[in-house]
């Protein structure tokens, strides 16, 4: 009993110091708890952002050289592929294209806006079916059209119906804007593409292979038309694969 009386009297006598310690512990606990909550929230947001921009795509094959698009069909007939995956589609992907507005090209003293480091995707209709974002309108472009995401449209200051020129580097390892590249031999220009649609920077509208929170500059063109322009008939450099299970992708 004497021991408890001593503790009680000590607490009463040093109540100012004890209160200060208690408040310090409470503040530290609140800071740590808040940091953990914010960290968990950020991880969840980044996960949702990454999964949203990739849609139903679980695996990707990207090469520096073109290969037969027929390999995509052959891959889907393999028994092991059917066991773990649902579908695959071919595409042409250029991570460093350049896009320029051509609406003011004939106007004097007017500089057309230019956007570099544009992610250019030549895709078929199946590509849009892998997106988790539902779209009311059919947006797949035809051969002389191009679809932009809102971020790129703002950069170029263009609207639906405007004309743009697409420039692609022959060697994807060197950017079209790089001083190391030969401007005449290494850049292929596709002029006067009509902006057929501008999609929000959500879902495939911010499709990207880079782990960044920033919205990328994306342009989408018809795969067949791009193959013709590049003289790569029936060739692609990318395969996009889906398991059809968004919450439970394959581990193999």
Q: Which pLDDT tens digit goes with each residue over 86-103?
A: 899 999 999 989 999 986
pLDDT score, position 46:
57
Question: What are 59's two structure tokens?
Answer: 């695996």
d(CA 96, CA 171): 10
- Helices marked H in 55-137: 70-76, 79-84, 125-129
Q: Which helix (H) or strand (E) holds 167?
A: strand 163-169
Burial of 83 (0-12, 13-18, 19+ CB in 10 A): exposed
In tens, the pLDDT along 145-185 reads: 999 999 999 999 999 999 999 999 875 444 444 444 444 55
Number of neighbouring beta carbons within 10 Å of residue 178? 14
Contact 86, 59 (CB under 8 A): no
Residue located via tokens 């544009």:
118
Contact by Cβ (8 Å): 195, 148: yes
User: Could you report the per-residue pLDDT of 126-152, keeping only the tens digit for each?
Assistant: 999 898 887 767 899 998 999 999 999
Q: Model confidence over 10-55: pLDDT tens digits?
A: 767 677 787 877 788 888 887 777 776 665 555 655 555 666 678 8
Q: Are strands 218-222 and 114-123 parallel, antiparallel or unpaired?
A: parallel
Q: Give the tens place of pLDDT for each residue, 43-84.
A: 655 555 666 678 889 898 999 889 999 999 999 999 989 888
Q: Quick one: pLDDT at residue 53? A: 76
- In whole angstroms, give the CA distance from residue 219 to residue 211: 19
């Amino acid at each position: 009993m004497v021991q408890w009386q001593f503790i009680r009297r000590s607490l009463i006598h040093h109540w100012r110091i004890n209160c200060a310690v208690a408040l310090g512990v409470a503040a530290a606990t609140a800071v740590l708890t808040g940091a953990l909550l914010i960290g968990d929230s950020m991880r969840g947001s980044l996960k949702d952002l990454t999964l949203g921009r990739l849609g139903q795509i679980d695996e990707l094959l990207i090469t520096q050289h073109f290969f037969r698009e027929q390999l995509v069909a052959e891959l889907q007939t393999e028994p092991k592929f059917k066991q773990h995956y649902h579908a695959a589609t071919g595409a042409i992907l250029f991570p460093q294209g350049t896009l320029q507005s051509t609406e003011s090209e004939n106007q004097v003293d007017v500089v057309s806006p230019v956007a570099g480091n544009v992610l250019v995707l030549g895709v078929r209709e199946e590509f849009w079916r892998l997106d988790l974002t539902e779209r009311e309108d059919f947006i797949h472009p035809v051969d002389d059209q191009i679809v932009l995401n809102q971020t790129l449209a703002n950069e170029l200051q263009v609207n639906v119906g405007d004309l743009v020129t697409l420039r692609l580097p022959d060697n994807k390892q060197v950017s079209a804007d790089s001083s190391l590249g030969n401007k005449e031999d290494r850049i292929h220009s596709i002029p006067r593409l009509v902006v057929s649609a501008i999609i929000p920077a959500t879902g495939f509208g911010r499709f990207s292979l880079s782990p960044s929170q920033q919205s990328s500059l994306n342009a989408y063109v018809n795969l067949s038309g791009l193959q013709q322009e590049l003289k790569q008939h029936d060739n692609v450099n990318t395969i996009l694969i889906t398991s059809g299970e968004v919450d439970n992708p394959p581990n193999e």
